[in-house]
Every structure is written in structure tokens, then in C-alpha cells.
Amino acid sequence: MQLSISPYASAQQTSKKKTVQRESAGDRSLLRASLSTWIGTHPSSPYPLAIGAVVLALLIGHPLGRTFGESILYIAIFPAIAFSAWYCGAGPSIVSMVVAVVGLRYWFGSPVDNFASVGNASVTIAFVIACTFIVAMGEMRRRHNEELRRAEQTLEGRVKRRTAQLDIANRDLRELTARLMRSQDDERRRLARELHDSVGQTLAALTMNLGAVGGDLERLQQTARTIEDTLALAQTINQEVRTVSYLLHPPLLDEAGLASAIRWYIEGFSERSKIRIDLDIPEDFGRLSQDLETAVFRTVQECLTNIHRHSGSSTAGIRLVRSADDIYLRIQDRGNGMPAEKLQELESGGTPGVGLSGMRERLRQLGGNLDIHSNGEGTVIEARVPLVAQAGAEDDSSLNIKVQV
């Protein structure tokens, strides 16, 4: 009966053998590197190791010489000389070579009573020449390895310096981003104040003047209608300026706090978008720091805008809870969910849109996190921000975006 082995099975066996051989070679290289490192960290060890290797070879070769012949002593000593040359250096190798010659001549008189018993002087000279060659080759290899170790240490030092420079650059970039966000909020606050104090007052005076003119020209119906239309336009402009001013930075956020500002914004948003919003905020919510109130309010604002533009949901729910350690915000809709391509982009670690990037950056500056759960039945966004900014808030690991389909 004959067994046939397919070429594929034979190739698999060959590949496994090569893998085992590579692993074995790697283990041997690691052992040699560890031994060289140990000898380098113990300056007094090369001479004892070299002499001990030769003495051990002589002890092993002495009984073998009685059985297999006197030449086995030379064969037993060559590995010890090679070990000394490769790992201990030129000086210990020369000392071990001298110890070997003396041992062959004087220490083991029975197998090697004199040089004539194992040959003649030429054998000793040949042995010395062979040992010298081994020592020279080992010294060249040891110096080459030493140069490689110094080059590796230099490269590691450069990598550490570049890594430190990169960390400094990233920290400076995060600080610049934080200052930019604060400057943007301050500029919005200033613009809102200017619009309310200057343009708003002027438009209010214009509205009163037009109202007076409309009363005086009551008998002129056509003129009165024109004035009324103009008055309506002025009132519309006044209302739009007020709305823009409040959307840029609502005064209630500074005066009455986060809870009042969110209630005011949701009331206006429901009237404009016709989306019913269920709001759950404790009555005793209290005040927070300015940066924290601004970040939470902008997150609510951005989420409701996305619901109105993209979800198609007619209802939404907002829950804001304050605990002893952090602030928990949950915003949910019953719409179509996020598009499949957007979900795939977020799941693969892609760059989110402008709105998500803004929310992420604000929460990251305060050490918070943002979770997104989306499917065909709607989207849930959860944000959690500590009441006191943590020491590691600058680290990117403080923010995780999770997407569930």
C-alpha cells in the first residue's frame, strides 16, 4: 500500500519546519545577547569565565583521552578557546590559551606526559596558531557587536528625544485649542452684548417712531398700510436680531444658570421646529462653572439642531442629572438614525463632522466623554462631564465615541 502526499501538504510541512528553525535561531541569538550583556555589566567576570572554560575542557578531555586517544584533549579545548574569544575578549582568551598549553604539558601527566607523546613541537605550534586564529576572529566579532550595541543605544536616545519633542508639541497644541475655544466664547458674548445694547435699542426707537407716524396718518389708508408693513418688518428685524443675539450667547446662561437657559432654548426651539421635547431637569439643579455650563448648553444646542436637520423625528427627550461627582446628559430622538456610511466612518475611527468635533473638543477640555448609540429606531447621545476637571483631562483617552448599530 502506497501513501501519496499532496504538494500542498508537503509545502505546509516545509513551512512549519522553517518556522521552527527560525524560532530556534531566534532563541539562540537571544541567549547569546543575554550572555554578552551580563559579561559587559560585570567587568571582573571575563577572566574567571575564560579560565574556568579551559579547566572544564581539560577535566572533560582527560578521561576521554584515555579512551579515545590523546588528541581528544585538543579537540575538547578548542570550544573553550572559542567561547573565551567570542564572549570574554582578547586578554582573557590569551590567558585561557596559556592555561591550556600549561595544562596539557604539566597538569595531566598521564595522558600527556610530554609533547612527544601526542606528537612533537609542531603539534603544539599548530595548536597555538589555531587558537590565535580563533582569538582573532572572536575579537573581531566582539568589536563588531560592541559597535552595533553603541549604534543601537544612540538610536534609542534619538527616538526618546523625538518622542519627548512630539509630546511637548501635542501638549502645546491642546493648550492652544483650549485658548481658542475660550476666545471664541468670549467673542460671541461680546457680539451678543453689542447687538443687544446698540442695534436692539435703535430698532426699538425706530419701532416707536413708526408707530407714532402710523397713528397720525390713520386717515391715509394706503400710507397707513405701508407704514404698518414697515413697522412689521422692523419688528421682524428686531426679533431676528434678538434671536441671533440669544443664540450666539443667551444672557440667561450667565444670569440664571444652565437649567433656565436650556428651558428657554427648548421652548423657542419647539415653537420654531414643531418638535415636541420632553425635558427632565431637577428644580434644584444649581449653578456650575462658566466653562461647564457653556459646554453642556452647546452640546444640547448642537444635538437639537441635528435632530431637526437630519433625524426626521417629531419628538425628542432630554435628561440632565447632577450627581456628587459629575453631570450626566442624555438626548434621545425617534428618527431614522445616523446614515450607514457615517456609522461606518465613526466605527473605523474616521474624522467626525463639524458638530460632533465641536462637542467632542468642548467635553475633552473638561475631561468628559461622549457616547453615541444609533440604529433604525433613533439615536441616543450620552455625555458625562466631571464637576471638577481631572488632572488627565488633556489626554485623548478621556474621550471615547462609541457607535452601536
Whether residue 255 contacts residue 228, with contact meaning beta carbons closer than 8 Å, is answered with no
How long a stretch of residues is the chain? 405
The rounded Cα 245 to chain-centroid distance in angstroms is: 40
In angstroms, rounded to a whole number, what is the distance separating the alpha carbons of residues 349 and 327?
26
Q: Where are the domains of the chain?
A: 7-161, 258-405
Rounded to 5 degrees, what are φ and ψ at 379?
-130, 140
- Give the model confidence (pLDDT) of 304-334 as tens digits: 888 888 888 889 999 999 998 999 999 999 8
Q: What does 311-373 look like in DSSP terms, one character per residue?
A: I--SEEEEEEEE-SSEEEEEEEE-S--S-HHHHHHHHTT----HHHHHHHHHHHHTT-EEEEE
DSSP helix, strand, coil percent of the chain (3-state; round to 5)? 70, 10, 20
What pLDDT is attached to residue 166?
92
What pLDDT is attached to residue 242?
67
Whether residue 334 contacts residue 378, with contact meaning beta carbons closer than 8 Å, is answered with yes
Q: What stretches in the chain show pLDDT beneath 70?
A: 1-45, 62, 64-71, 105-124, 215-220, 224, 242-249, 346-354, 389-405
What pLDDT is attached to residue 386?
92
In angstroms, rounded to a whole number, what is the distance separating the alpha carbons of residues 122 and 125?
5
**pTM exceeds 0.75, yes or no:** no
What pLDDT is attached to residue 20?
53
The contacts of residue 55 (CB under 8 Å, 6+ apart) are: 99, 103
Whether residue 367 contacts residue 385, with contact meaning beta carbons closer than 8 Å, is answered with yes
Strands 315-322 and 276-280 turn out to be parallel
What pLDDT is attached to residue 239?
74
Cβ atoms < 10 Å from Cβ of 84: 32
What superfamily in CATH does domain 258-405 come from? Histidine kinase-like ATPase, C-terminal domain (3.30.565.10)
